[in-house]
Amino acid sequence: MPNLQAAILQALRSVQDPDLKRDLVSLGMIDQLLIKDHTISFTIILTTPACPLQEILKQECIQAIRTQVTTDFNIAITTTAKVTTGHATASVLLPHVKNIIAIASGKGGVGKSTLTTHLALALVNYGVKVGILDADIFGPSIPTMWGCRGVRPPILEQEGKKYIQPIERYHVKLMSIGFLAEEAVVWRGPMASAALKQLLKETKWGPLDYLLIDLPPGTGDIPLTLVQTVAVTGVVVVTTPQKVALIDAVKAIAMFTKAHIKLPILGLVENMSYFLPTTAQNTIHYIFGKEGGKQLAQQKAIPFLGQIPLLPAICQQGDDGISAVDTLPIFDTIAQKVAQQISIQNAKATF
């Protein structure tokens, strides 16, 4: 039924991806269109399995076919995903990594490692390949948060070169200076930058859809070394609602948006937003101020990714080491929004 198939494709051209602002057909998102036994079936190829809009896209496709083509057929739509990248060519340093996301803040203690950890768990639950690089050379938190302090990564040798095999927990690949050095690292900035480059270069990451870089606080050597060494897809900024943290968050945003760096800010996360006692479920306590991060995101015209409550369980997980079932729904929502923003940035780089 070539005429019917052509009509269906024409109808699907009226369905736009709301983020990419182009129709599904020209984006190459329609695949395996088949008409058989009074059923129209096809697959929508999403730019990430964490896409929050897939049900909306399905319904719009059905509506387009029903109103523009026919109401006489059943419509069966499946979805699959192919994580995009904004790089035209593979990175020399990390050739198998599609997207590098920096998790940053201007101030320490706002929850970068907590967000990095739970964001990785939420993303990997969608079936994508995720890694974490703990780039805080002087105060690595990832080994503790993942319950693998004292674990030493294996050393591999390939073609006469030695590589570090990442530690793997819950299908997430982990690398940190904390796996390699037990004692405090007492180095000047250039030495720390060299260590970061070595971790990037000598870690055998393998194929990854997302590599999350847990940056140290501030706007110093390590963030600069990162953006000068690899192609960073974008930055997620973490803050708490209090003024002293917001002031430093503004500095972090300013650093990454400067002309000589010019990285997309994928969004801002407000951590420790409020406390909700278990004994008084309707009583919200704003310990560090109310919605300071949300207001900052609005002022800077950057996406607001969500508010993480102050929960003793999250703190306990950080001390004891998380488990794969620990991720809260808010982290799943943040993961969807981060994946969505990455797809938008990659589309901008491609079109």
Binding site listing? 106-113
Which residues make up each annotated binding site for ATP? Answer: 106-113
Alpha helices in 176-328 (DSSP H): 189-202, 221-229, 243-256, 292-300, 312-320
* Amino acid, single-letter form, for residue 101: I
C-alpha to C-alpha distance for 41 and 55, rounded to whole angstroms: 16
* Amino acid, single-letter form, for residue 42: F
* Amino acid, single-letter form, for residue 241: P
Residue listed under structure tokens 């990430």: 48
Task: Give yes or no for a contact between 231 and 345, defined as CB atoms under 8 angstroms apart.
Answer: no
Q: What is the DSSP letter of 233?
A: -
Q: Name the nearest CA neighbour of 302 among 272, 257, 255.
A: 257
Task: Give yes or no for a contact between 241 and 286, defined as CB atoms under 8 angstroms apart.
Answer: yes
CB atoms within 10 A of CB 343: 22
The three-class DSSP label of residue 319 is: helix
